[in-house]
Amino acid sequence: MRYVDHVADLVGNTPLVRLGAVAEGISATVLAKVEYFNPGGSVKDRIALRMVEAAEASGELRPGGTIVEPTSGNTGVGLAMVAQRKGYSCIFICPDKVSEDKRNVLRAYGAEVVVCPTAVEPDHPESYYSVSDRLARETEGGWKPNQYANQANPESHYLGTGPEIWEQTDGRITHFVAGIGTGGTISGTGRYLKEVSDGRVQIIGADPEGSVYSGGGGRPYLVEGVGEDFWPTTYDKDICDRIVAVSDGDSFDMTRRMAREEALLVGGSCGMATVAALQVARELPEDAVVVVLLPDGGRGYLGKVFNDAWMSGYGFLPPAQGSTVGDVLR
């Protein structure tokens, strides 16, 4: 019999899939590292596991403790899964702009979800930063992973994602492309690939137009999970050889093409990273091997990127293309 004891034991070792239709006319090989194959559905399972194990080792997280983190999405799912495996409780703090569906996913895994108002400054006592700090302090056995400052985040990629890609490509990777949120993925994976290749592998960060990583001032954008308006300590500024800024429109267009043409139903930050990867690959010779990391699946975005009316509302699709229930009934 072949089985694991718990679904959390399946984190990592995600496959590489060659991109075909969207990479038409490109001579280089473009490979996608598809992170939705992780058991919680995203790349964040990797950091959840490593952050929890590091905190157990340092004594910050004690048996029966409670994990308290401001998160509305992928990190919460990863933490909830690891918490179940190891007997911890979870309290997640979400801003009220986060959809009810996303909060319900976290509750389904057994987490407690606290909702805070979005329209207050970060230092306001009701902001989700303040509330999470207070709950972490006041909850018996409380521990806050803080994915934006926790070095176990980039470390999980240095020890996992990087070596996996090197091995899967037989050391033939020439370029690595990933979106930057906390910066953990690009910093940890990038550092490993630079070290193992003596600096040969080029590291390219993909960033939403307006975010600080590509020189923006924090202007709002719609792609989720990437870009920041501050510099987290989990991001190593010395790793990227190049940063490519991508617009929301191009990101979403590619996200939809990935589902339609590659049968990869992935999230908006995956479309963004793919746009950057193809831009880089287009300039490269046949023997180049570009690996682009796709952080999550597309099911969490059905009401947005994959919804014609939502896309039209932001001007990403012409209004005529949006079909509604009314159209069908007529």
By beta-carbon proximity to ligand PMP, the closer residue of 53 and 236 is: 236
Per rule CB under 6 A, is residue 296 in the interface with ligand PMP?
yes
By beta-carbon proximity to ligand PMP, the closer residue of 65 and 188 is: 188
Per rule CB under 6 A, is residue 132 in the interface with ligand PMP?
no
For ligand PMP, how many residues bind (rule: CB under 6 A)? 16
Q: Site for ligand PMP (CB under 6 A): which residue of 295, 297, 311, 317?
A: 295
Q: Collapse the DSSP code of 184 into the 3-class scheme (helix H, G, I; strand E, B; otherwise coil) and give the result.
A: helix
Q: Site for ligand PMP (CB under 6 A): which residue of 14, 74, 89, 169?
A: 74
Q: Site for ligand PMP (CB under 6 A): which residue of 180, 193, 206, 239?
A: 180
Residues facing residue 92 across a β-bridge: 69, 113
Q: Site for ligand PMP (CB under 6 A): which residue of 19, 226, 276, 289?
A: 226
By beta-carbon proximity to ligand PMP, the closer residue of 156 and 174 is: 156
Q: Give the residue from 160, 227, 213, 169 showing the smallest Cα distance to 189.
A: 160
Residue 169's Cα: distance from chain center in Å?
A: 22
**Cα gap 285→29, rounded to integer Å:** 9
As a whole number of Å, the CA-based R_g of the chain is: 20
By beta-carbon proximity to ligand PMP, the closer residue of 124 and 299 is: 299
Q: Give the residue from 280, 288, 163, 273 showing the smallest Cα distance to 227.
A: 273
Residues 186-225 contacting ligand PMP, CB under 6 A: 224-225
By beta-carbon proximity to ligand PMP, the closer residue of 88 and 301 is: 301
**Cα gap 174→28, rounded to integer Å:** 10
Per rule CB under 6 A, is residue 161 in the interface with ligand PMP?
no
Catalytic pick among 33, 44, 86, 304: 44
Per rule CB under 6 A, is residue 269 in the interface with ligand PMP?
yes
- 222 backbone φψ class: left, alpha, beta (φ>0; ψ -120 to 50): alpha
- For residues 245 and 251, the answer to whether their CB atoms sit within 8 Å is no
Q: Site for ligand PMP (CB under 6 A): which residue of 12, 142, 145, 183?
A: 183
| Nearest-approach distance from CB 176 to ligand PMP, in angstroms | 13
| Nearest-approach distance from CB 25 to ligand PMP, in angstroms | 27
* DSSP states of 22-61: GGTT--SEEEEEEGGGSTTSBTHHHHHHHHHHHHHHHTSS
By beta-carbon proximity to ligand PMP, the closer residue of 132 and 185 is: 185
- What are the Cα distances from residue 109, in Å, to 40, 74, 106, 132? 10, 12, 5, 19
Catalytic residue check, 194: no
Q: Site for ligand PMP (CB under 6 A): which residue of 40, 70, 142, 181?
A: 181
Q: Site for ligand PMP (CB under 6 A): which residue of 160, 267, 271, 297?
A: 267
- What are the Cα distances from residue 122, in Å, to 45, 53, 93, 231? 27, 29, 13, 15
- What are the Cα distances from residue 155, in Å, to 20, 255, 323? 32, 28, 45
Question: Which residue numbers are catalytic?
Answer: 44
Binding site for ligand PMP (CB under 6 A): 73-74, 179-185, 224-226, 267, 269, 295-296
